[in-house]
Structure formats: C-alpha cells, structure tokens
Amino acid sequence: MTMDERKKLILESIIKDYVETAEPVGSRAVVKKHNLKISAATVRNEMSDLEEMGFLEQPHTSSGRIPSELGFRYYVDCMMEKESLSHNESEVLQNLLGDGKQEWSTVVERVGHFLSQVTNYASFIIIPPFGLSEFRYLQLLPLEPGKAVMFLVSDMGMILHNKIDIPESVKEEDLRSISQIFNQILRKRRIGDVRRSEMQELRDTLKRRRRVIDQALEAIEHMLENSGEERVVISGALNILNEPEFKDLERIKRILSILEEESLLRHVLPDYIGDEVDIRIGKENQEERMKEMSLVFTGYKGFGDMGKIGLMGPVRMEYGKAAGAIESVRRAVEELLKRF
Amino acid sequence: MTMDERKKLILESIIKDYVETAEPVGSRAVVKKHNLKISAATVRNEMSDLEEMGFLEQPHTSSGRIPSELGFRYYVDCMMEKESLSHNESEVLQNLLGDGKQEWSTVVERVGHFLSQVTNYASFIIIPPFGLSEFRYLQLLPLEPGKAVMFLVSDMGMILHNKIDIPESVKEEDLRSISQIFNQILRKRRIGDVRRSEMQELRDTLKRRRRVIDQALEAIEHMLENSGEERVVISGALNILNEPEFKDLERIKRILSILEEESLLRHVLPDYIGDEVDIRIGKENQEERMKEMSLVFTGYKGFGDMGKIGLMGPVRMEYGKAAGAIESVRRAVEELLKRF
DNA sequence: ATTAGCACTCAAGAGAAGAGAGTGCTAACA
DNA sequence: TGTTAGCACTCTCTTCTCTTGAGTGCTAAT
C-alpha cells in the first residue's frame, strides 16, 4: 500500500485533532472539522488502510482512531513544519538573554523558564562541565588572617571562587606572586587537562611556598570535581499535570521522578548530539520510564563541549511548535555565548 | 466538659492511627490496636464527647472519627513530643554540612534534600537577603583589555562577583588603588545601607577615575538588586504525591503551584519568626491555598537577618517527627554559620 | 460508670441497563 | 473502479439499583 496525498491529508488532520483534544478521532468528525470534500465512508476506508500501514491504531473496535507512534514519526519526518516564535516571543527571549554581563546560570534559568512557558512542556537545559573549557586566569586574595580566597576565570568568562586556609605569615605580595606563577604555567590549558602531572610540576617548582600552593591546588582539585559534572536546569515540570493523558497518579509520579532525579536525564539523552533538532517519540527512547513521553532537543556549542537543551512532553505533542522554539532558543543562546 | 486522662489517651490513639492510615478510626479498631482496657462502647461514648468538644469529627454519621484541626492543635500543644533524629541521621546531617569551605548555597541545597528525605515532606529554606550583611572587602581585577571583574566579600564570607567594562587605558595598578579607596569608605558598612548617599560621596571623591568608578558602582547596585531578594530553596515537593489525601489531581496542582511559585511561600510564612519551632495547622494559615496543608518551621540567625527553614505536609502530619527534624537542622545550620 | 446487644446509617462496590459514538460491510451509484 | 449511503453491530461510559460491611447511637443489664 502506498502513501498518496489524500492519505497524508487525512493522517495530518487526525494528528492535529488528536493533539488538540487527546480523544480518538472519528471519520465523521475529521470530515466536518477540516471540510474535507469526501464522505465519512471514504475516510473510513482510508483510515482502515492507514491502520494497516501502522500509522493509526484503535483503542477498541468501536472507537475512533489515534495516531500511533509510527504515525507521529511519519508526520515529524515528512509533514511537520517548524513553527517559529511569534514576534513578541522572540523579543521577550532577546530581552531575557541580557547583555552578557549576567551570571550565566541565571540566564540559563530564565531561558528554561521561557521555553516551558512558551510551549507548555517541561524544559531542560544541560550545562556542559566547566572543566572542559580553557583556563585563563587565577588570583589569590587575602581575606582575613589565615584565610584567602582563590578565583578562577575560564575563557568563557565563567568565574569560580573558593576559600582556602593559609599560614598567617603569608602576605598579600606573596599571594600575588604565587598567582603569577600559577598563571604562567596554567594559561591556555584546558582546565580538565590540568589535573595530575601539571599539579605535580607546580608542587615541585614552588617548594618555598608549599603550604599556600598545596591549599590552592587542593582547592582547584575540589573545584574541578564539583564543576566536572554537568549541571541540569529543569523548568515547568508541572506542565505535565495539565496533559489529559496524565490523570493517572502513578503515571505522574513516574514521569516527575525522572525530572526530579536530574542525573537520569543524562541517561535519557544520547551522549552525542549534533546541532540539528532531534526528536524521540515514545518508545524510541531508551530509558524505560521515558517510553511514554517524547523529547525534542538539540545541542549547543557551550564551554568547549556541547550543552543540551530540550523539551519533554507527551507523545501527543505539538512537535512543530516545540521544534521551532528549541531551534530559536538554541540560536539565541549560541549568539550570547559568542559574546562572552 | 473536661479533658481527663482517658480522653487524652483516646484522642492520642486516634490521632496516631489516623496519621498512619489516613482512614477514619472506629471505636473497636482503636481498642484493639492500642490494647485499651476498656470496651468499644465506652470508647464510643468518649469519642462522642471529644466530638462535642471539637477535637474529632465524623465524615458521615456511620463512619469512624478523624481528628479535627483543633484536635491536632490540642495534640501539638499538650501531648506532642519532639522526636529527635536517629543517631544515623544526625551523622549524615553533620557530614553534609561540611567544613565551612563549601559554597553556602550548595550546603543549603543538601540540607533541604536531607530534610525532605528524612521526613517525607516538602522542605523549604529561605536564605535572607545578602544585602543585609556587612560589607568587608572589594577587589577589582583585570580580565582582558576593556574588561575587569569585581569581587565583593561580606562578613559572612559570602562572595559575589560581576563583570564590568573599563577603558582600555586603565591598568592593574589603577584598579588596585581604586579598590583600596572603595574599601576605606565601605568597610564594615551593612551592604544594604551603602546605597544612595555613600555612592554619591564616592563618585565625588574619585572624579579622576570616573569611568571605572561609575561602572563599579553600577555593578554594585546591580548586585544589590539581585541579592536584595531572599532566595528560596525547595526540596522533595513530590513527596506530596505520596500522601493518600492528595489523590485528587486538582488538589495536587493547587499545592504544587504554591511550591513552584517560590515567592508565594513568603506570603505564607509570618514576617517575623523566632527561633522556636512554630506549627501552623490547616486553616490557621493565612494564604488560601495553604489552608489544606500544615507548616512546621522555625527561624535561624543567618546573614544579619533571620532565615527560615521549614516543612510542608498534609494536616495529617507527623508533627513530632517534623518538629524534631526542623529543630535539629536549625541547630546544625546555626552552628555552621558561626564558623563562617 | 461500664458494657453487651441490636437496629440503623451510609459509603463503596458490583451488576444491569441504556445511550451514544463510531465502525465495518453491503449494495447502489457515477 | 472508486465513492457513497445505509444499517447492524460493538464497545465504552454513565446512571441506577442492590448489596455488603463497618461503625454508630441508644437501651437495658451488670
């Protein structure tokens, strides 16, 4: 059996109705709603064909049809058009990205919020580990007797700080010259690469100020550990409660638990992600609990590594709108990162 | 009618059963379960009295009784004992507080997580605005041509940073001496108080390096704005889904929306909070949506101002356990803050 | 004052019946 | 040969009734 234009039109109509109402769609309803120039009986025949082809399914013999996951896949691949943001929405997005001076983390939170507001799905943004970006600058500053603070700046303008203990005898000048030495050795290294060998080299070179150096190195290691993890920012998880297919409490718990356990999201997404918008529908997802949901996501060039940004919603999702929103946001975020 | 020992015992038994099962408790059940030495009929009479006194209520004439909010209030005031953390739990708590070098915000997140794990209720921690703590130290550092970073350290060891634009001609030495001047003027001031007049003074005194100063002042104002708000950290909101009284979706949405909209929590809590554990049961809460929930909370002496820490659960809550956990955590957090 | 006994009440669950939406099939039609 | 009207049939969902069982309140006996 082959997919002619009429079948396509009918499939599309059914998908649109179903996405809107979450109810099985009947032959009469589809004819009426979309002003098709054919009779309900004809549509019934076509629907029967579409079912045989695997694009539709019937919850029970005497109900309308709903699109199968394969049906959605066909729609996404062959018929969907990305729906770009409205003028208004684009403007809001530009505004909340700011001028590049804001903390990156607050910008990300705002963008996540925006995404979930615009689409009514749950959004997630994965920030790649800081450890993979380039080292640019380190500075030790005295804080109070016996304490100092160490600042670390990466090429992307990310700033980390950490308190360290130092002998009380160490003076501000000492700290400054120690910072100098650090900088000479570390400049332009990828922060993740610095780890072991380099640090040993430092320790050897700088025997004199051992205590301070040791503390500083320890602090760096500590920072690397804490920042070597991706960060996950989730927003609008409660949007899921509004989807009619999730009126079952057990189901809701299952879904929300994925979002609560941030680390799980990493297993859900493929390790490698390009900069195309990618869509995973229902059982196409690996993770068991994700098989009743869909993902729309893409990668963005972040701090040396790829970050990820995406939406999570029911299989009955407005893929066109979701994909459009994701794409716009990706473009805007990359634009912003370039400015850093 | 007066509250004798037997009535107390029966009320307590009913509350305990009801907290455990979320079902109305019958006279026979309560006698059996707690091995009371009186008959079900006697208990029925007492229950009838307790109902008249307002401590119990009947969902319908032929069902068991459930404690009224007044009943819970009586229990909390006259019979409840705070249940302290197990040895194991205390140890976990101590461990995750760390050694004072960690970022305060990550510690708070961990503590919130701990609270919700231990009690199975939703926890919230409100961090008082940074702006109210004392100013201690400011430093400008060159970043790249035309950019510098400004660090601000408060008495509690909180560190903020912000990027600023500077004329390319400004050198590291200039930045250092500007930092000095800032420090002389601002040291020991409450950061919140610095605002207007002082800044004007600074601007006048330092006409020479106007550009840098202006930028720095702007950055400080910006920081003050962003940090002048309390921060709210919420954890374990999904625990609410496990309570049998919340099997109604609409109710769940209502409750979770309070937690999602962080700012709302502030209206829910009284402005002034002491360091006693305070309990608000159901309709004792002001905010409309909170009237079906209970709060157990207390204040902690934080950065100059009081922070707040608490649990949110159903009216049918294990108040003893919740209050005990809150108290332990408050003590531990204050201990930690002293070490800063 | 306490208890046993018994009639009464009410929610929750199990069937049964009816309504309604939608299908598949057949036969007629262009 | 593709399209359509007509009609019997299917299955869910809702409503109603009936039954069951836990639990009460009252009365009379201890």
Please check whether residue B151 touches A, CB under 8 A.
Answer: yes
Q: Please tell me the predicted confidence (pLDDT) of residue B195.
A: 56
From its phi and psi, is residue B157 left (phi > 0), alpha (psi between -120 and 50) or beta? left
CA distance B205 to chain A (A): 26
Q: What are phi and psi of A190, to 5 degrees?
A: -75, 130
φ, ψ dihedrals at B44, nearest 5° = -60, -45
- pLDDT at residue A80, rounded to an integer: 97
Residue A317 CA, nucleotide D3 C1', distance (Å): 34
pLDDT at A228: 61
Note whether B257 contacts A: Cβ–Cβ < 8 A. Answer: yes
For the beta carbon of residue B235, count every other beta carbon within 10 angstroms. Answer: 23
> Could you count the other beta carbons within 10 Å of the beta carbon of residue A229?
14
pLDDT at B95 (0 to 100) = 93
Length of chain B: 340
Distance B56 CA to C1 C1' (A): 23
A129: CB partners within 8 A, 6+ apart = A192, A227, A228, A229, A230, A303, A305
Query: Which pLDDT score is estimated for B274?
Result: 85
List CB contacts (< 8 A) between A225 and chain B: none
* Pairing mode, strands B135-144 and B147-154: antiparallel
A149 touches chain B (CB under 8 A): yes
Mapped onto helix, strand or coil, the DSSP state of residue B174 is: helix
Q: Tell me A315's DSSP state.
A: S
Confidence (pLDDT) at B2: 86
- Cα–Cα nearest to A189, from A246, A110, A136: A136
Cα–Cα distances (Å) from B220 to A92, A154, B152, in that order, read: 26, 22, 8
Burial class (CB in 10 A: 0-12, 13-18, 19+), A260: middle
More confident position, A135 or B293:
B293
For residue A253, give how far its alpha carbon lies from the nearest alpha carbon of chain B (Å): 7
A337-340, long-range: CB within 8 Å, 24+ apart, which pairs? A337/A156, A337/A300, A337/A301, A337/A302, A339/A100, A340/A100, A340/A104, A340/A156, A340/A157
Question: How many Å does it take to go from CA B52 to C1' C6?
Answer: 25
Look up the pTM and report it: 0.86
**How would you label B160-174 residue by residue, b for 16+ Cβ within 10 Å and e otherwise?**
bbbbbebeeebeeeb
**Distance separating alpha carbons of residues B151 and B168, to the nearest angstrom:** 20
Q: How would residue B156 be classed by pLDDT, with cut points 50, 70 and 90?
A: low
* CB of A76 less than 8 A from some CB of B: no
Q: What is the pLDDT of residue B224?
A: 66
- Chain D positions within 7 A of any protein Cβ atom are 3-6, 9-12, 21-27
pLDDT band at B149 (very low <50, low <70, confident <90, very high): confident
List, for chain A, all residue ranges whose pLDDT scores fall below the cut of 50.
none
Beta bridge partners of B114: none
The candidate with the shortest Cα–Cα distance to B189, out of B154, B146, B139, B228, is B154
Under the banding of pLDDT at 50, 70 and 90, the label for residue B134 is low
- Provide, as residue numbers in chain B, all residues whose Cβ is less than 8 Å from the Cβ of A252: 241, 252
Q: Could you give the CA distance from residue B250 to residue B260 in angstroms, rounded to a whole number?
A: 15
- Ranking A159-173, B169-183, B185-199 by mean pLDDT, the lowest is B185-199
Identify the pLDDT of residue B194: 60
Beta bridge partners of A141: A149
A239: nearest CA partner in chain B:
B253
Yes or no: say if B100 and B336 are a contact pair by the CB < 8 Å rule: yes
Tell me what pLDDT residue A166 has.
79
Report chain B residues whose CB lies below 8 A from the CB of A226.
Answer: 106
- Surface-to-core class of residue B65, CB atoms within 10 Å of its CB (0-12 exposed, 13-18 middle, 19+ buried): buried
Contact A149, A140 (CB under 8 A): yes
The C-alpha angle with vertex B198 and arms to B195 and B202, in degrees rounded to 5, equals: 125
The DSSP output letter for A71 is H
Instruction: Provide, in whole angstroms, the distance separating residue B50's CA from nucleotide C4's C1'.
Output: 23
What is the token pair recorded at A214? 């040791």
Bigger pLDDT: B24 or A190?
B24
B241: helix, coil or strand? helix
Mean pLDDT of B192-209: 61
Across chain B, mean pLDDT equals 86
| Sign of the four-CA dihedral B181, B185, B190, B194 | negative
Chain A residues touching residue B159 (CB < 8 angstroms):
149, 161
Q: What percent of chain B has pLDDT above 70? A: 86
DSSP B129: P
Q: Give the residue-averaged pLDDT of B159-181.
A: 78
Q: What is the CA A84 to C1' C23 distance in angstroms?
A: 39
Length of chain A measured in residues: 340
| Cross-strand pairs, A159 | A153
| Residue B238 sits at the chain A interface (C-beta within 8 Å) | yes
Q: Which of B1, B308, B301 is nearest to B125 (CA)?
A: B308
Nucleotides of C under 7 A from a protein CB: 2-5, 8-11, 20-26
Q: Is there a contact between A238 and B249 if contact means CB atoms under 8 Å apart?
A: no
B292 secondary structure, DSSP code: G
Q: Is B236 left (phi over 0), alpha (psi -120 to 50) or beta?
A: left
- pLDDT(B45) > 80: yes
Region at B120 (left for phi over 0; alpha for psi -120 to 50; beta for the rest): left
DSSP A79-112: I----PPPHHHHHHHHHHHTTS-S-HHHHHHHHH
The band of B199, judged by pLDDT with boundaries at 50, 70 and 90, is low
| Residue type, position A244, single letter | P
Strand C, CB < 7 A, residues 19-78 of A:
24-29, 40-41, 44, 47-48, 51, 58, 61-65
Tokens 């940004």 -> residue:
A309
| A-chain residues near B242 (CB < 8 A) | 253
Structure confidence at residue B78 as a pLDDT band (50, 70, 90): very high
pLDDT of B157 over the 70 cut: no
